[in-house]
Amino acid sequence: MCPRRIEEDHKSFRDVVGGKIRKALKKWIKTGNIFKNRGKNGKLSIPIQRIDIPHIVYGDNPSGVGRGNVKPGDVVGKDDSQGQGQGNQAGQDEAEAIMINLDMEEVLKFMQEELALPNLKTKDDECIDEIKIKYNNISLVGPESLRHTRRTMLQALKRMCSTGEINTLHKIPGFKDPVKLITPINSDKRYRQFKEVKFPSSNALIIYARDGSASMEQNKCDVVSDMAWWIDVWIRRFYKRVERMFVWHDVSAAEVSEDKFYKYRYGGGTTCSSALKLISKQFENRFPPNKWNIFVFYFTDGENWANDNELFVKLLKDEFGEKIVNLFAITQIYAYDHKNSVMEAVDQAIVDNVLGDNVKTTEVPLSAASSDEARNKAILRSIREILGAKGSVLEDAE
Amino acid sequence: MSERFMHGSPILLGSATTPGVRIPPELAKLIPDILQSCRDFGLDFYPTIVQMLTHDEISEVAAYGGFPVRYPHWKWGMEYEELQRGYMYGMHKIYEMVLNTNPCYIYCLNSNTLLDNVTVIAHATGHNHFFKNNIYFSHTSDNMMNELANHGSRIRRYMSRWGKEKVTEFIDNVLRIETLIDNAKAWETRQAKDPVFRDIRRYRHPRRLPITKERTYMDNWINPSNYIQREHDRIEKIEKAEDLGIFTNPEKDIFGWIKENCNLKTWQADIMSMLYDEALYFSPQGLTKTANEGFASYCDYHIMAKQGLVGLGQEGHDHGIVEYSIHKMGVLGGKYSMNPYKLGFNLLCDIEERWDKGQFGSEWENCDNMRERENWDQKLGLGKEKVFEVVKFYDDVNLINEFFTQEFCDKYEFFDWQKQENGEYVVVSKDAKQIKRKLITKYTNRGLPDIRLADPNHLGRGIMLLEHQWEGRTLYKPYLQETLKSLNFIVNKPVLIASKNKNEEEVIYYCEGFGDNEVHELSRQQYRKEFGLSSS
């Protein structure tokens, strides 16, 4: 069957759709709205505009003619598309959009390009070697199933040439003339042999810690949840084996499950250093820093007992040096301007060169008045800051 | 006899690449009978080629609008995907396709039953008659399959010369303005413009009223000097306007005007003229949809049910009538919906009944006695003749305008609905006049807004000014903006369109181009300010 003409056109239509997807994705990433959508089953669905060839047409048709046995006043139908977004332009736009499923892998690749997030680095010296088996050696003994036939025959040929055995002619049934034969003996046999190869480690430990005091309200927790999910996805891109640990603290810290991490609220006061103490204890036995790439993400609203800030910085300096953790990121989500906040103290320490490059800080300004978009953009910016993206791609694009 | 039947012609094979399926022998031997029945019914049609296709193939052909030889473009791929998906999910199914060409192509679906296919051929022959006889199709080319194939190969050549992306981008933009044509242009004989070698002054003389020789003494009185002076002034004005290149008449045929007058590259002008021809070719089908479908339904109803063709190829002579009726109701059904097939079918049946009974003329119009009107039957039997006359001379608007009467409206239970604020559609009235007005509005200009080119050199600044002829309905803004951008892309000039918004206030949409690719919405004051006009 000859190729059909429609196939070419169909393919170019698919390309048009592909272009639309890229555009839509770009828009979504730019506004940060993507951080509210969590991909399920490795797929993320985003809305794209319906594809059509626009002509000059009339707008919404508010009346018309029908037929049937009715009397004036009867309801003959309902426009479902209106629903909640009445008279709202945004509502109309969304009604026209169709949802398209995308692979998370593609989304992440796109994020890498668009947000210019740098690749994460592993620790320089203390990488643990991971052992893998590769069949890249030859031995004289071994099981028959691993016999290397080509090498064996080559060996037999070499041997027979050196002894002159090769010149003897043999009569073989099926052949008219006598032929030369190569016959391997046991000492010619060669076997494949495995060797242990060491690969650099790809273990990562992500520690999420958060302040659980009463001032961490629902909307702040949502920000934590959104950011944590995407950071998680990003880090998993680089490491094969990822362990996660969740630490929650008020006056004292405790390790909790993921569910509880997002749900727990209403603790008493706040001692930020308690979380650091708990985490640093884990490094002794459970997660030795020389075997793990460690990423710590600490979320707070900045309120801390004043004298605790000094202790916090001291602990950061002593226990979370560059050799111990790859990244220590402090995200401060605040609704009002706070003096003497944790971030202020840490920033001061960074300026004074007390802390290393692995400590990063960012803030997510959040107020009741700020719109969803502003919030999403703030999250986007924070993620870029703590993951160490350079330049301001987004601001340029606007 | 010109109406011969050609058996599965190879046109879809080879160059056109769609392999046709052979017609099943049980259908093939019935086709002459079906066509004979059609001839007996009085249909006069082009020679017919029946093709049997699988669903995949019919989707392909339908995606190309019936002509599998058209230029490459992604929009066919989009149609194809839509049709394929619709079929896959069981949403819809194409029963038949018929092409307005000579010979006429009828495509049947091979998964249909025998009865369905017999019906389809009878139905399609009705279309065939319509194409051959209706006056709106009198200017369409008979040989469109070849012409479209030529367009396809020409556009392919441009694509290989200038790049596929570039040509496709241009076609994308042209397709957006393809509705801005004047259907009446099909009647105009088109000819290439004569090249101008030297300026010729054509003298215009003032118009004088005619006077016979004997009455020359009346001349000063019949054609007084001030009248002659007025005429002189008028002519001078026109000549000056021509000299300055002032545009006098609002032009409806914007597409054609751009093609003729704008500064386009040769390949662009050629592509535009091809697409213009295609748009003109397909426009009568939009103008006569209701009449065409109605007539085809009317034909297959008469041929199948009244002439008893339902028994063709069946075991008994009336087997299949139930199946036929069910399918007919499927085509003409839809609760509360305004089905154009049904409207056309009912209108033609009503005409047949009225002219059979002699319910026309001034006597009928002036009769006020309801009982008399109800039992009015002069046994004239002119119905069929009248229907064939209507098919010959009417399009949708004229059909509804003339034959949508109070009685028809009452009999077939039309109503007028309006959308409420909560999104509900509520019946407002059953008034025939109101309904008729709405129907006519809906069918006028194929239901599209009337846009005119008011001035191609607005304010002497090379701005193209379009006007929306306001009838009380607003334009759909997102599409309008996209279309303006496309116009701007094609003519490479700023484009303005004057319309009104929901509150009947004047709005002007402005696309400047030259890097500023946004469409701005201006009120009248803003427009005056922007363009530096005095506020008076």
Q: Do A79 and B63 touch (CB under 8 A)?
A: no
Question: What does the pLDDT read at residue A390?
Answer: 67
Q: Give the closest of A4, A69, A72 to B18, CB-based.
A: A4
A169-218 pLDDT per residue, tens: 888 888 888 888 899 999 999 999 988 887 766 778 889 988 877 777 77
The answer to whether B476 contacts A10, with C-beta atoms less than 8 Å apart, is: no
Of A15, A56, A78, the CB nearest to B424: A78
pLDDT band for B5, please (50, 70, 90 cuts). very low
Cβ neighbours of A3 in B, within 8 Å:
17
- Taking alpha carbons only, the member of B217, B23, B202 closest to residue B107 is B23
Using the predicted structure, report yes or no on whether residue B238 has a pLDDT greater than 70.
Answer: yes
A196 at B interface, C-beta within 8 A? no
Distance from CA of A112 to the nearest CA of B (A): 28
Q: From its phi and psi, is residue B308 left (phi > 0), alpha (psi between -120 and 50) or beta?
A: left
Look up residue B150 and give its amino acid: N
| Yes or no, beta carbons of A66 and B480 under 8 Å apart | no
pLDDT category of residue A126 using cuts at 50, 70 and 90: low
Instruction: Name residues 64-83 of chain A within 8 A of B (Cβ).
Output: 64-80, 82-83
Across chain B, mean pLDDT equals 84
- Cβ–Cβ contact B419 with A under 8 A: yes
Check: CB of residue B309 under 8 Å from CB of residue B209: no
Looking at the partner chain, which of A2, A53, A57 has a beta carbon nearest the beta carbon of B476? A57
CA B212 to chain centre: 49
Task: Note the pLDDT tens digit of each residue in B396-428.
Answer: 999 999 999 888 888 888 888 888 877 788 888
Pairing of strands A241-249, A359-365: unpaired
- Does residue A151 register a pLDDT over 90? yes
Burial A167-176 (b: 16+ CB within 10 A, else e): eeeeeeeeee
Give residue B10's pLDDT: 38
Q: What pLDDT score does B11 carry?
A: 39
Q: For residue A97, what pLDDT is reported?
A: 62
Q: Give the span between the Cα atoms of B297 and A118, in whole angstroms.
A: 67
pLDDT higher than 80, residue A110:
no
What per-residue string of b and e applies to B146-161 under the rule 16 or more CB within 10 Å gives b? ebbbebbeebeebbee
Count of C-beta atoms within a 10 Å radius of residue B418: 13
Interface test with B, best of A48, A55, A76, A94 (most B CBs within 10 A): A55
Would the CB atoms of A8 and B473 count as touching at under 8 Å? no
Q: Do A55 and B479 touch (CB under 8 A)?
A: yes
Largest CA distance in chain A: 113
Give B 338-357 residues with CB within 8 A of chain A.
338, 342
Least confident of A73-77, B11-15, B296-300, B382-386: B11-15
> A22: which strand partners?
none
- Most A-contacting residue of B177, B350, B476, B519 (CB-CB within 10 A), to test interface: B476
Nearest Cα of chain B lies from the Cα of A64 at a distance, in angstroms, of 5
Q: Which residues contact B183 (CB under 8 A, 6 or more apart)?
A: B280, B283, B284, B287
The predicted pLDDT at position A89 comes to: 38
Task: Measure the CA–CA gap between B96 and B301, rounded to whole angstroms.
Answer: 16
pLDDT band at A358 (very low <50, low <70, confident <90, very high): confident
Q: Does B414 touch chain A if contact means CB atoms closer than 8 Å?
A: yes
Interface test with B, best of A50, A65, A80 (most B CBs within 10 A): A65
Q: How far is B81 from chain A (nearest CA, A)?
A: 7
Question: Amino acid letter at A241?
Answer: R
Residue in chain A closest to B418 (alpha carbons) equals A63
Residue A392's pLDDT band (cuts 50, 70, 90):
low
Question: Is the separation of the CB atoms in B109 and B58 below 8 Å?
Answer: yes
Query: Which residues in chain B touch residue A64, judged by CB atoms under 8 angstroms apart?
Result: 338, 416-417, 438, 442
- Give, for B483, the enclosing helix (H) or strand (E): helix B477-491
CA distances in angstroms from A173 to A170, A179, A185, A332, listed in the order given = 10, 11, 22, 87
Please identify among residues 22-51 of chain A the ones whose CB lies closer than 8 Å to any CB of chain B.
Answer: 51
Task: Give the up-direction half-sphere exposure of residue B347: CA atoms within 13 A in the CB hemisphere.
Answer: 30
Residue A210: strand pairing partners: A248, A299
What is the CB neighbour count within 10 angstroms for residue B524? 13
pLDDT for the residue numbered B274: 93
Are the CB atoms for B209 and B284 separated by under 8 Å? no
Distances in whole angstroms, Cα of residue A75 to Cα of each of A68, A333, B333, B439: 12, 51, 19, 20
pLDDT at residue B3 in the model? 39
Quickly state the pLDDT bin for A91 (edges 50, 70, 90).
very low
Q: Tell whether B168 lies on the interface with A, counting CB pairs under 8 A.
A: yes
Dist. CA A48–CA A31, nearest whole Å: 15
Most confident of A96-105, A131-140, A263-272, A304-313: A131-140
Q: Name every chain B residue with its beta carbon within 8 A of the beta carbon of A53.
A: 75, 172, 175-176
Q: Is A143 on the interface with B (CB under 8 A)?
A: no
Question: What sign does the dihedral B351-B353-B358-B359 (CA atoms) show?
Answer: negative
Q: What percent of chain A has pLDDT over 90?
A: 9
Size of interface A-B (CB pairs under 8 A): 182
Structure-block tokens of residue A218: 């629902």
Does A5 sit within 8 Å of B72, measured CB to CB?
yes
> CB-based contact (8 Å) between A84 and chain B?
no
Confidence of residue A337 (pLDDT cuts 50, 70, 90): low
| Best-predicted range by mean pLDDT (B120-124, B195-199, B365-369, B454-458) | B120-124
